[in-house]
Structure 1
Amino acid sequence: MTIKPSLWRLPVFQGLIMAVAIMTGQILIASPAYAATYYVATSGSNTNAGSSTAPFQTIQKGLSALSAGDTLVIRNGTYSGSSNSLANLPNGSSGNYITIMAENEGGAIITAGLGMSSSNQYLVFQGLRLQDTTQKDILGNHIKWLRTEFKGGPSGGNTMAVVVGTNDVGTTADILLEDVWVHGFGGRYKILVYNSSRVVIRRAVTRYDGTVTASGEPQANITVYDSDSVEVQNSIAIDGITGTGTEEFVAAYYNICNGTGSVPVRNYTHRGNIALKPTGYTMASEGNCTISNEVIMDVAGAGGTYGISQLKGSGTQYTRVTLIGSRGDGFGIFGGSAKVQDSIVANQSGQAYNGITPLTSIAYNNGGNTGGTVLNPFTSGLLYLPRIESGSILSLGGTAGQRGAQIIKRIGTPGTLYGESGYSTTTATDLWPWPNEARIKKEMCADAGVTRGFCASASLTDYVFSYLGNPNPYGGGVISLSPPPNLRVQ
């Protein structure tokens, strides 16, 4: 693409329009007439014009050229040093997002860090790879991260890999993380949402690869903490490390209410999520206060240290949850109130339902099956962890149909923020084979020695669907469903 500079940016044109406005007594509100596209390449020069044939050399130079509605295309290469940081970011405006994207998805590796501020707004980042040992703070409003790898984080102290929000008086809002994967050593939480409002995490793949932290500092894959209106959709926490250094790990999905932030603590929703061989529990909810309106639906967990633990909660709803083969109880409701329905707990070493009497739920081959109907789910329709077979015994008998998690369709219209039309709709688009799984496999399994779990399997889809011992209905190959280059989603 070539640069299309807006006439509005030309001083002569601005002066002409202003003169007309003065003469006619009209007040004109201008928007960019044309959006411009600029390019950065490691072989470029900052004395260039930033065109496709004469690109800039550094990301900072490219960012300095952007105005609302513009696009910065980053060509293949590794970008390091302060001149290539994602800092000093420009702002877009409503209807005129600024897009910062890789020319070829996964081809631009940025090791120079991320420096966002609470004043940032209307920005889209897509197709990038962020690799460094810093905490990646996502701040501002109307920010979208699409198809991006976040690798690594800081070691030691109260530090995270990726953080949405901070102690910023609740100004971080309307944030989307869609088709992202977070892994690598460092950061006690792989993703933390803190003191923020209207956040969607959609199809995030997270793997806990360890960190160094002080005693009493909990660890987790995805943590929602003192925030308002957060949805975690179609996400996978997978293959956490075990052993020394993981004693403080709590859960794949960790919901906290301490009331220390500046926003109401309410509306935490988990839909269509999987925890497969996490370091700790599938899910835990706790804190010093109560989360208002906490909904967990279509969640599957297997191979961890525990199923679901609730220490706090007020009427938390657990619907169509499948918990298989973890050590300890399936459900442990030790505080607050909850409702469990249409769920399956099997092969747990502890109780199926501890502290709760479920509705229309199944218990099988646990240390104790009290509370559930005893039925072998593996011969009744549970062949694959994410789904129940149509027409099977388990497809019927629930309060609203089936029992057990059904995680087969994508949730949320692509690119939608919390509250926008279709943001929480279960779409007609198949979730499997997992989107971008060829790139995920390549990037999450690239480091020497990382061969555990799905890195030893043919694909992420194959790993998940073969877990219960049945052949993968999609075949064993890695299927690439990456979008074409230069696809812009706003």
Structure 2
Amino acid sequence: MKRQVMILAVLWIIGWVACTLSHAEVLWCNPANLGQQTGKTKATGFRTLWDAMRAMTPGDTVKIANGDWSRNYPGMTIESADHLPAPGISYDMMSAIEAETDWQVKLPAIKDLGTGRSYVRLRGLVVNQEFTTLYGWTNSKIFRCGFLGAKQGGNVATFALFKGSYNVVEECIAWGGGRYKFIDYQGHHNIFRRCVARHDWYVSPQWAGQESNFRGYGCQNSAWQNCISIDSDREMYQTSDSKEDADFWIGDQSGAGGNVITGCIVLHGMYQAYYFAGPNEKPLSVVLTHSAAIGPSLVGLENLTGAVTYGNVNTRIQNCLFWDYNRGVQHAINHNKETGELFLQNSVFRNVGRLNAKGLKAANNLYFNAESPKYGSGSLELDPLQNGFSYPCMPDPLSKAATTGWGPLIVKRIGKPLAAMDEPGWDAPTDENLWPFPNEAEIGRLMKQTVEGVSGIYGFTMEGQTLTNYIWGAFGKTVPPFLMKGVAGNGKVLLQWARVAPAIEKGLTGYRIYDVSGTSPVLLKTLAGKAYDGVLLTGLQNGKRYNLTVTAVDTEKGESGWVYILPLQPDANLPEISVK
């Protein structure tokens, strides 16, 4: 009898899920609608988001019409406890609140301070000058959202995951006001992937706490992948009593451990690029791999200003790059507590202060103009700028640095898109190119606006600049073109690449296309002039595989290196290539 009851219960659950799947709906919210409100179409969308969410059932999607609904439109918040989306059922049956077009919907607030939700997706939404908190959310996905923090003091975060788990925050941006830009507070197994943060303002005499762009507070086993902390070096907009600020501040006395930072970048940052800490009782672990920190950045207190600070945590640093941390009391790496160890390997240091590392195990590093010569066995003192590092994200192909294995490779996207830690592929290297950086035009457009009294047009948002060009041009070299796609035909190949930023285009004299299949590049074609984003190569040998790449030539800076390679093989049986 019990078995029959169990079978009936399972069948009922399967039937309920199947019924729910078949009835999942898309509901519209359109505050500009003055007519009938059914939610079935954009024209008949609910006038408020609250009404739309009330009509949801698990697995439904609410789509919000494009527009700025952040001021003078009541009922357009997502907040505790009566105005939240319905919870989802599974990753295959998530409830969702989405913009009609990514980045084109502004809301006044997203603030769940204690209810919690599971299996919810937020996509394309921009919060306008508020602080976003998701308390107790699990298995949810925040995708291509923007968070502009308010100009307000106190212990506030622009975007906070509060005691959540197995969430993904992907291709999101945080800027403006706030002590923290992104924080994982006492959560576990959360992922921040391809997010960009900029500290614009936080002057808070009533709360002189440390500030950070990516903060992991008491979190366990979380990950930061391909994230960027940038242009956060305007000291006049930071609390003067706060001298422990960090771009990535992961861990603390509350017991954070098992966290991993991969493929991340700091450029023109706060006092410390990477700050790792743990509890006194028992050192936990943190891993930093294939990441970079490029100064100059702010100079703070001695022992708390430089590329890396760690204490009471066992730290592993591999294939990283630290550049221009040698002003005043800045250090390369400093140990500031009683316990903890450091494993340091295959990393690059140029123009850096002292290396003060207790429990140091180091090997095979490259250093130059470094205050401390303690970089371990197999390490070499050579100028990276002359030995394979024209750019911060990778060693030059075929250089000594590349063959030796020094430094980072930050050229491919990490993690299957939107994969959480309980899904396959969440930390797998992919074949997807990271550059040009995703959504960089929208990121630049949005970050041009920030809190009152502060210019959002600064650094990478300057006219004619792009995020990709700004980062790759940090060492003053000609920025390489980034191949996008190619197609082979009968004795021909069509290549296309991303147009370079207007800020550097004026110096270009042309492009060169190479086959890099052998031990040295073979020049196939030279293009004179700057107005190119592709080329049709003719006269190629059918049946031969070409590994093709492109470089740019600048009047003053010379020829760039290359990043991406496209393997293509012409064939007599392939369709004719048409060039539009």
- What TM-score bracket applies, with the shorter chain setting the length? 0.7 to 0.9
Partner of 2:457: 451
> May I ask how many residue pairs the two structures share in their alignment?
441
Partner of 2:67: 77
**Distance in 2 of aligned mates of 1:201 and 1:135:** 15
Give 2:423's match in structure 1, choosing from 420, 424, 441. 420
Deviations 1:431-488 (A, max 9, x none): 0010111110110113473222101252100000011011111253389xxxxxxxxx
> 1:39-438 alignment to 2 at 5 Å?
39-45=28-34, 48-52=37-41, 53-80=43-70, 81-87=73-79, 88-89=83-84, 90-94=86-90, 95-115=92-112, 117-153=114-150, 155-166=152-163, 172-185=164-177, 187-213=178-204, 214=206, 216-244=208-236, 245-247=238-240, 248=242, 249-259=244-254, 265-289=256-280, 290=282, 292-303=284-295, 304-305=297-298, 306-314=306-314, 316-326=315-325, 327=327, 328-335=330-337, 336-348=340-352, 350-352=353-355, 354-355=357-358, 356=360, 358-371=362-375, 372-397=379-404, 402-438=405-441
Moved more, 215-224 or 285-294: 285-294
Partner of 2:545: none
**Distance in 2 of aligned mates of 1:138 and 1:206:** 21
- The SS at the match of 1:440 is helix
Counterpart residue identity of residue 233, structure 1: Q
- The SS at the match of 1:198 is coil
**Distance in 2 of aligned mates of 1:40 and 1:212:** 37
- The SS at the match of 1:228 is coil
**Distance in 1 of aligned mates of 2:357 and 2:220:** 29
Following superposition, the deviation at residue 425 of structure 1 comes to 0.3
Following superposition, the deviation at residue 329 of structure 1 comes to 1.5
Q: Compared with structure 1, are the counterparts of its residues 138 and 411 closer, same or farther at alpha carbon in structure 2 (3 Å cutoff)?
A: farther
**Distance in 2 of aligned mates of 1:173 and 1:242:** 33
* 8 A contact 2:263–2:290 mirrored in 1: yes
Moved more, 370-379 or 338-347: 370-379
Counterpart residue identity of residue 316, structure 2: Q
Counterpart residue identity of residue 276, structure 1: L
Q: Compared with structure 1, are the counterparts of its residues 330 and 26 closer, same or farther at alpha carbon in structure 2 (3 Å cutoff)?
A: closer
Moved more, 104-113 or 195-204: 104-113
Partner of 1:9: none
5+ unaligned residues in a row in structure 2: which ranges?
299-305, 482-498, 503-532, 534-580
- The SS at the match of 1:240 is coil
**Distance in 2 of aligned mates of 1:117 and 1:362:** 49
- The SS at the match of 1:266 is coil
**Distance in 2 of aligned mates of 1:27 and 1:319:** 51
Q: Compared with structure 1, are the counterparts of its residues 165 and 25 closer, same or farther at alpha carbon in structure 2 (3 Å cutoff)?
A: closer
Following superposition, the deviation at residue 92 of structure 1 comes to 1.0
5+ unaligned residues in a row in structure 1: which ranges?
1-20, 167-171, 480-490
Q: Compared with structure 1, are the counterparts of its residues 269 and 34 closer, same or farther at alpha carbon in structure 2 (3 Å cutoff)?
A: same
**Distance in 2 of aligned mates of 1:353 and 1:437:** 37
**Distance in 1 of aligned mates of 2:37 and 2:448:** 37
TM-score normalized by the length of structure 2:
0.72
Following superposition, the deviation at residue 104 of structure 1 comes to 1.3
Counterpart residue identity of residue 129, structure 2: D
Counterpart residue identity of residue 28, structure 1: W
TM-score normalized by the length of structure 1:
0.85
- The SS at the match of 2:96 is strand
Counterpart residue identity of residue 235, structure 2: G
Moved more, 436-445 or 127-136: 127-136
Partner of 1:470: 477
Following superposition, the deviation at residue 288 of structure 1 comes to 3.7
* 8 A contact 2:247–2:270 mirrored in 1: yes
**Distance in 2 of aligned mates of 1:246 and 1:273:** 26
**Distance in 2 of aligned mates of 1:460 and 1:204:** 12
Q: Compared with structure 1, are the counterparts of its residues 409 and 230 closer, same or farther at alpha carbon in structure 2 (3 Å cutoff)?
A: same
**Distance in 2 of aligned mates of 1:82 and 1:312:** 48
> 1:24-35 alignment to 2 at 5 Å?
28-29=12-13, 30-31=16-17, 32=20, 33-35=22-24
Following superposition, the deviation at residue 347 of structure 1 comes to 1.2
Identity rate, percent:
22
Following superposition, the deviation at residue 420 of structure 1 comes to 1.4
Counterpart residue identity of residue 56, structure 1: F
* 8 A contact 2:151–2:176 mirrored in 1: no
Following superposition, the deviation at residue 257 of structure 1 comes to 2.5
* 8 A contact 1:307–1:323 mirrored in 2: yes
**Distance in 1 of aligned mates of 2:101 and 2:313:** 45
Partner of 2:520: none
Deviations 1:419-438 (A, max 9, x none): 31000001111100101111
- The SS at the match of 1:38 is strand
**Distance in 1 of aligned mates of 2:184 and 2:262:** 16
**Distance in 2 of aligned mates of 1:137 and 1:211:** 21
Following superposition, the deviation at residue 127 of structure 1 comes to 0.9
Counterpart residue identity of residue 346, structure 1: R
Q: Compared with structure 1, are the counterparts of its residues 113 and 265 closer, same or farther at alpha carbon in structure 2 (3 Å cutoff)?
A: closer
- The SS at the match of 2:193 is strand
Q: Compared with structure 1, are the counterparts of its residues 106 and 369 closer, same or farther at alpha carbon in structure 2 (3 Å cutoff)?
A: same
CA RMSD of the aligned region, Å? 2.3
Moved more, 418-427 or 363-372: 363-372
Following superposition, the deviation at residue 363 of structure 1 comes to 1.2
